[in-house]
Chain A
């Protein structure tokens, strides 16, 4: 009913009046309901009473009765009333007959009422028609409806939204992008045409941002933006920022945010031109500069802030890949590249991220939070005291961004160092957005793999894969579902690599393990063999699952133009396979050691068909490769199977994961305390 009413008003009112109406409704929304009910009741009672009275008048019970008079009327007709009784006192007055009364009533009250009634009915029918036909041809209405019912869907929406808009790291922006911009121009894309639905979208979004209504912003950003993109801008860009600016008071910051979304949409659905890439860089520069100078007083959803950082790094990566493909560059493009050599410059990118981290003081905030002096994680980074969350949360996500950039550059040590302020063994703001959660763990795990800290990588991959396995179903409708699945598959491949180099299967949960066997079981068996085929599989899995490495330096424009976009990837692959080769004899040793508790060096050398000094080197390699150095320089053992040599005898010790009873008891104690507290509270009430 409310929707129909709303639709009616929308259909028949001037736009601005309707807008203001909605404002008021919001303000006394709570008061509205009882008032309306009372009003309706009053109107109904009046209508019924009036109807009864009217009917009584029109169809009097007996002809002799006068309405509202108790005494019978048996008087002569008042033709020549002169000189008769009290009538003389009112000159010009006359009596009505009953029939006259009825006629009079018909003409003056009843017929006009019926007329008005039918007009209203027609009005209502028209309104209902508008309401039901509108959503198909009028995007505006849908947006309004989403807004309106948002709070009711809160819990549902939050779950699905978490997954939504996930990083499109490997979305093939160039290859899959359908029509180049030129042809969409031909299809009639007019950057200055703003459909009503977009108008309404920006006006509402702008208002919600001003009012710091994070929930509504999130809804519009996640749902409405996607819906509108799907319906109106499937293969064209959104209207240009100049065209929408005057709907939002030409607000500078809002326009920057709009452009940021504009470019993101463009990158996702079309292939950006060089000019657009450069413009997008400029836009990020302006946006981050505004944020860094601390003049922003907004609250934006974490999802959006994450997407900003994520997209920033993605566009950087995409630019480097694009620039490295020098072979087919036109002269014009080369001229642009040399002219705007600062665009997506690696120093610029790193320094922006670093500046966000520093300026936001996020490292100190996280430090203070440990001492209980500050709240950040517990509020998911939001500020409930009227401040802005933008700088803080951007700074936070920038640490993840730095990790990712360093991984793309092949600098794993520094990448992990950038992430250090975030404790990834615990939940944090990074887990509040699924995209950030997956990106963080993927790069963290990959860096650890390259640093030979296999156990650490296995542990984290296991956790996130289990999490995705359990929550996958909630994200099925999300537009980013495919991206989630892709990263999921890549991490299974990385896990397969880790487990082949360091067979600590006990660290992996049963569900994850069975998924892994299903996907890579057969390949993992072949990887153990360390022949050429095995290396080919290592190569294949690594190439499939590695990040898109980049060469950060600008090309030289004088030499013959060659593509160098594969260089970085080839180097990392080569060094990785080198490492695998160094470990190729270890799985053989492992097989033998598994079946002995003690064995002499000579005997084992015999079995393995090598001489004794070689066996000693193999055993030392095993020890060296299974004992990694962690971040603090401490030696950590990755070995599932350990041994020591006493003169000529090898003593084998299979390390079983010690059951952590201590942790279990600690948790139970805390749980019990919680229950007791709850019980106490009940007693008080």
Chain B
């Protein structure tokens, strides 16, 4: 198909690092030869705590085309990475490309259950379940922090002021470490601690258009600058 050109490119890349994997995916997404590079790249993402949905989807697509080359270990890593990308729907995007019989494997079943808990906001169950299957999730550094970030995201969508126990449950931090965590957030993210009526602490989350819906209307009334720019000649 005139795509054989890439082989030399790859060899070149190994020597001179002329092409990053991202570039390979952008230039040449439908080439079975880049499969090993993409697999390496998944491992690299895991170790360097980076993430590229496009590259991972590209790899899953190649697996889909040639199921015999599929490595379940790599697929599991991709799925964990996709879980960490919540609230984006990356996890289901990946599942759409993974054949059903593969999804029947035990580790994938666990991951699907985890994703289900996250999707339905059941953080208590999620942390319990995650604790049971450490071997899967702990292979990927940054997992806990990523899920905590997602939990905080959902909480900030929902709450203006959240009771401390609810927060503690969602991010699975308690006691002293929670105090430390809160201190850090107050300093860096504009959180405010408040005394609730009798039952302990309330945390005021930074306001956004989602937990202060009245803010949204102002946004909607705005007119993009380029629209105005278009009628400048007329106004002048």
List the interface of chain A (C-beta within 8 A of B): 292, 346-348, 350-352, 354-355, 409-414, 417, 450-452, 552-553, 567, 570-572, 574-575, 578-579, 582, 613, 616-621, 623-625, 627-629, 633, 635, 637, 642-648, 653, 655, 658, 660-663, 666, 669-670, 673
Contact = CB atoms under 8 A, between A and B. Distances in A.
Given A618-B121, A644-B159, A355 B1 contact: yes
A348 B1 contact: yes
8 contacts: A409-B64, A411-B57, A553-B66, A619-B121, A637-B210, A644-B159, A662-B222, A663-B223
Nearest to B220: A658
A553 B67 contact: yes
Contacts of A410: 96-97
B210 A645 contact: no
Contacts of B19: none
Q: How large is the interface on B (under 10, 10 to 19, 20 to 34, 35 or more residues)?
A: 35 or more
A617 B158 contact: no
A22 B53 CA distance: 62
A623 B30 contact: no
B205 to A, nearest CB: 10
B139 interface: no
A616 B166 contact: yes
B131 to A, nearest CB: 19
A533 B177 CA distance: 48
A660 B217 CA distance: 11
A231 B32 CA distance: 47
B99 to A, nearest CB: 7
Contacts of B163: 647-648
Nearest to A352: B1
A19 B13 CA distance: 62
Interface-central residue, B31, B92, B100, B120, by most chain A CB under 10 Å: B120
Contacts of A660: 220
Contact of B154 (A450, A575, A624): A624
A450 B91 CA distance: 12
Interface-central residue, A620, A621, A645, A658, by most chain B CB under 10 Å: A620
A307 to B, nearest CB: 23
A637 B100 contact: no
A173 B183 CA distance: 67
Given A644-B211, A647-B202, A653-B213, A629 B87 contact: yes
B57 A567 contact: no
Interface string B199-234: 000100000011111101100111100011011001
A578 B91 CA distance: 13
A409 B210 CA distance: 35
B140 interface: no
A292 B1 CA distance: 11
B95 interface: yes
The 4 closest A-B CB pairs, nearest first, are: A620-B121, A662-B223, A410-B96, A658-B220
B96 A623 contact: no
A669 B231 contact: yes
B155 interface: yes
Interface-central residue, A352, A617, A619, A643, by most chain B CB under 10 Å: A617
A621 B121 contact: yes
